[in-house]
Structure 1
Amino acid sequence: MKILVLIVLSISILFGDKTLKIATYNVENLFDLNKGDYRYEEYKPNGKSLWNKKNYKIKLQNLSHVIKDIDADVIALQEIGSLQALKDLRFALKQKGLYYKYYDIADKKTTAIKVAILSKVPFVYSKELSVTKGYKYRNILEVKLKIDSKDLYIFVNHWKSKAGPESMRIISAKALIKRVKEIGYDKNIILLGDFNSDYEEYILFKRKRKHNDTSGKTGINHVLKTLKQTQSADKVKYTKNSFYNLWYDTKTENRYSYIYRGEKEALDNILISQSLLNKKDISYKNNSIKNFNKSYLFKKKNIYRWQTTNGRIRKHKGKGYSDHLAVIAKFVVR
């Protein structure tokens, strides 16, 4: 019997489960110092706004400090200005001892800010998913990973802000779900990023009539079909062709990644396909969803965002991080 126990323990050590940490982080306007590309006025380099080498370096150091502390295996990023900015962030991380060998950015469309990804896990492929041909909508980044012969699809999103009505976010949601149907709902799929939508957007936006131009329909709840699974992960029941929003697997008071006028909001989300709930192959680790809410990321009761002055010309102060908190979840690879 003792010999059998030793054999079982040895097998567990050699062939035990692996944990995969996946995160998403809106870094708030990381622009490089190159001239000529489309960008916001206050990020034109070496001008009156003081977006210069000094402040750019501080921004890179501050963001890399956060990402180093998160230490995810895969991290999705939003509001990256260019491939150069992504490479500079990656280099800053490498200097801190965190090396992401694999990376990509959705930069085929000339939008001011783009989505990107950093990964310790190699890509089978990475490609852009076009939402529309116009420039109102940012492309979605699709990445396929293979982990111990198991496929995992990740889609990095940054949907239209609340400056636009819900119909604009539905357009992104429909493009996303069309691609999901091509892959198959039964596959291991993670949808994550800044959706500019709460996990219960269909309830919240009823109070904001300027957003509800869709007769109550929302992209995150109705198009991605997250309405029927609102329990914690250990209680949720399988619902065909639906996605489970991981925010339901933590306490209500912890479900936020953004603070607007004192109100906590969950604009950043991680949604998973049903196969990631079945405890086979790759699966979500229960109770692992959280926002990255270290004390240094707050100033009083607000998130310590990147600081600029007010006024006609906003000047960079060289302080702060991002106006969003990162969101993290863990997955078990069996």
Structure 2
Amino acid sequence: MKIATYNVENLFDLNKNGYKYKEYKPFSKSLWNKKNYKIKLQNITKVIIDIDADIIALQEVHSIDALKDLRLMLKKNGLYYQYYKITDKKPTAIHVAFLSKFPFIYTKELQVTSSYKYRNILEIKLNIDGENLYLFANHWKAKSGPESMRITSAKILRKRVQEVGNEKNIILLGDFNSDYEEYIKFKRKRRHNDTGGKTGINHVLRTIKQEKNSFYNLWYDAKEKDRYSYIFRGKKEALDNILISQSLLKKGGISYVKASIRNLDKKYLFKKKNIYRWQVSRARVPKHKGKGYSDHLPVIAKFKINTN
């Protein structure tokens, strides 16, 4: 079973209602039109087909309509996700979503705060051959904000994990806007460290020491040079993560396949030494060029289903 996470970078629909960034105002001088929307859908479809996951968490999807259009494009190209869900309880510009080949037992939306500055977290529960599996799709505050904002999201997530049960099969994934060793790397960045050295991903989710209620960050299973999903000013960063509960490290009903974590680093996803993101001009009126994919790389891991 392959599970993945992918920040698709601003997949906006063409509906005129709903909050949008100015460059995604439909049929305006920015050229966000049918032609460019179709190219964006085709390009993201190509990537998701290459990922070929059974379950994929998506970030930066504008609406249920954008998610349905992507799902239809995938189906036309031979990859069918029968089950899907997007956060829809808060009118933020972008949302998290799931596409799945497995049916949902339930879906639940976790509100971090009522502020639009925080995106809701999406929880799904699956039952695969008699084994329950809980997944949480995240998109935490970007580095434009301090660590205290990411801790706010982490605390809501941790509280819900404790309600579900730390001993259960749990996967936390998405764009955490945090490195797997954020607690080390962010100390040099004073504008981020407003928490006395504490981080959401490492301290609240407990990824530093491996104990009973800790989560294991799968990036530690990859070679250090391959631990990245984003490139900022020439520097590789691991903003997208997959964290698993201790039960998934054991050879039980569902277990992580050791050393299977990786990014999707196909050549077409790069332009020179940068990730080939969706291209929008930097003119006074930004214009879509109809080229590129996303500013993030997908992250993928495999799990084994041990059935009797």
Structure-2-length-normalised TM-score: 0.99
Distance 2:107 2:46 in 1: 26
Separation in 1 of the partners of 2:246 and 2:202? 15
Partner residue in 2 for 1:300? 272
Of residues 64, 75, 78, the one that matches 1:97 is 78
TM-aligned CA deviation for residue 122 of structure 1: 0.7
Counterpart in the other structure of 1:246: 218
Determine which of 119, 137, 160 is the counterpart of 1:156: 137
1:193 maps to 2:174: yes
The one-letter code matched in structure 1 to 2:75 is K
Q: Supply the distance in 2 between the matched residues of 1:35 and 1:60 (Cα, whole angstroms).
A: 18
Secondary structure of the structure 1 residue equivalent to 2:127:
strand
Which residue among 185, 202, 205 is the counterpart of 2:186? 205
Displacement of 1:141: 0.3
Question: Runs ≥4 in structure 1, deviation > 3 angstroms?
Answer: none
Of residues 113, 135, 138, the one that matches 1:132 is 113
Percent of paired sites with the same residue: 74
Report the counterpart of residue 59 of structure 1 in structure 2: 40
Per-residue Cα deviation, 1:139-170 (whole angstroms, up to 9, x for no partner): 00000000001000000000000000000000
Deviation for aligned residue 1:51: 0.2
Residue type of the alignment partner of 1:84 = D
1:219-257 residue CA offsets vs partner (Å, 9 max, x unmatched)? 00000000014xxxxxxxxx1110000000010000000
Query: Which has the higher Rg, Structure 1 or Structure 2?
Result: 1
CA deviation after TM superposition for structure 1 residue 135, in Å? 1.4
Q: 2:95 aligns with which of 114, 121, 125?
A: 114
| 1:221 is the counterpart of 2:202 | yes
Aligned residues: 306
> C-alpha deviations, 1:19-40, integer Å up to 9, x for none?
x100000000000000021010
SS in 1 for 2:241: strand
CA distance in 2, matches of 1:221, 1:24: 19
Aligned-pair Cα RMSD in Å? 0.5
Superposed, which structure 2 residues align to 1:313-328 within 5 Å?
313-328=285-300
Query: Which of 46, 50, 61 is equivalent to 2:27?
Result: 46
Which deviates the most, 129-138 or 165-174?
129-138
1:270 aligns with 2:251: no
| Distance in 1 between residues matched to 2:91 and 2:284, nearest whole Å | 26
CA-to-aligned-CA distance 1:93-147 (integer Å, 9 cap, x gap) = 0010000000000011000000001000111011201111221110000000000
Give the secondary structure class of the aligned counterpart of 2:154.
helix
Residue 36 of structure 1 aligns to which amino acid in structure 2? N
**Secondary structure in 1 aligned to 2:30?**
coil
User: Using the alignment, how far apart are the partners of 2:234 and 2:136 within structure 1?
Assistant: 30
**Structure 1 residue 311, shift from structure 2 partner:** 2.0
State the secondary structure of the residue aligned to 2:157.
Answer: helix
1:32 aligns with 2:4: no
Aligned partners of 2:6 and 2:244: how far apart in 1?
17
TM-superposition CA deviations, 1:260-309 (whole Å, max 9, x none) = 00000000000000000011110100010000000110001000000011
Cα distance in 1 between the residues matched to 2:284 and 2:55: 39
* Whole-angstrom distance in 2 between the partners of 1:36 and 1:281: 45
Amino acid of the structure 1 residue aligned with 2:150: R
Counterpart for residue 7 of structure 1 = none
Match of 2:61 among 43, 55, 80: 80
Provide the rounded CA distance (Å) in 2 between the counterparts of 1:222 and 1:295. 36
The whole-number CA distance in structure 2 between the counterparts of 1:214 and 1:54 is 46
1:69 deviates by 1.0
> Residue 176 of structure 1: SS of its match in structure 2?
helix
C-alpha distance in structure 2 between counterparts of 1:317 and 1:125, whole Å: 40
State the match for 1:260 in structure 2. Answer: 232
SS in 2 for 1:49: coil
Question: How many angstroms apart in 1 are the aligned matches of 2:289 and 2:168?
Answer: 46
Unaligned runs of 5+ in 2: none
CA distance in 2, matches of 1:312, 1:142: 40
Structure 1 counterpart SS, 2:113: coil
2:156 corresponding residue in structure 1: 175
**Structure 1 gap segments, 5+ residues each:** 1-19, 230-238
